[in-house]
């Protein structure tokens, strides 16, 4: 008898909650991201590669957002100019010879090659002869004494 009562109560509740004509509005990922525009996105060691990959794969979700990232300073001289990167070593085609990095630009005094740095700035889109990409517009650049993991795998 108790089982029948419980089933009837359950059926009664399902009738009132499960049979609704109202529509549920589902926010898109872009709407969710835009509500958190003032939050700093910190790219940490554990998911360094995955998070950077998401920034490059879904740039519209990140443009204008503030990013905080640490790694070693890795400048590249190309066509008479210096391109600044914050980098970490990662798996590559021949073992552990890869680099995960993102470019940053700004008018701060740049550190020495391989210094451990913390970069905080806004993601911006740019276009050059190779196409569109994103980089960090530098807000803050700190040289740190304590180094994080130079090699990341996620």
Tens-place pLDDT, residues 35-49:
456 799 999 999 999
Classify residue 70: in a domain, yes or no. yes
pLDDT tier at 3, thresholds 50, 70, 90: low
| pLDDT at res. 27 | 37
Say which range, 23-32, 50-59, 88-97, has the weakest mean pLDDT: 23-32
Classify residue 150: in a domain, yes or no. no
Classify residue 11: in a domain, yes or no. no
Classify residue 56: in a domain, yes or no. yes
Alpha helices for 19-150 (secondary structure H): 29-34, 48-57
Range of the domain at 85: 23-143
Classify residue 47: in a domain, yes or no. yes
Classify residue 27: in a domain, yes or no. yes
* CATH number of the domain to which 115 belongs: 2.40.50.140
Instruction: Please state, in angstroms and rounded to a whole number, the distance separating the CA atoms of residues 112 and 118.
Output: 13
Q: Looking at the DSSP assignment, which residues form a beta bridge with residue 81?
A: 78
Instruction: Please state, in angstroms and rounded to a whole number, the distance separating the CA atoms of residues 87 and 102.
Output: 7
Give yes or no for residue 94 having a pLDDT over 80.
yes
Instruction: Please state, in angstroms and rounded to a whole number, the distance separating the CA atoms of residues 38 and 60.
Output: 16
Give yes or no for residue 154 having a pLDDT over 50.
yes
Q: What is the number of domains present in the chain?
A: 1
| Tokens at 52, concatenated | 């950077």
């Amino acid at each position: 008898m108790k089982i029948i009562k419980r089933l009837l109560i359950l059926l009664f509740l399902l009738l009132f909650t499960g049979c609704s004509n109202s529509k549920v509005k589902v926010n898109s990922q872009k709407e969710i991201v835009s509500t958190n525009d003032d939050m700093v996105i910190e790219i940490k060691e554990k998911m360094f590669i995955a998070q950077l990959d998401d920034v490059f794969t879904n740039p519209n979700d990140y443009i204008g957002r503030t990013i905080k990232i640490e790694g070693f300073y890795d400048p590249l001289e190309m066509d008479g100019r210096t391109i600044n990167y914050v980098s970490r070593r990662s798996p590559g085609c021949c073992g552990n010879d890869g680099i995960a990095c993102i470019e940053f630009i700004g008018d701060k005094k740049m550190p020495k090659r391989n210094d451990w740095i913390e970069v905080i700035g806004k993601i911006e889109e740019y276009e050059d002869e190779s196409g569109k990409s994103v980089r960090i517009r530098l807000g803050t650049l700190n040289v740190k004494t304590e180094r994080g993991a130079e090699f990341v795998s996620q």
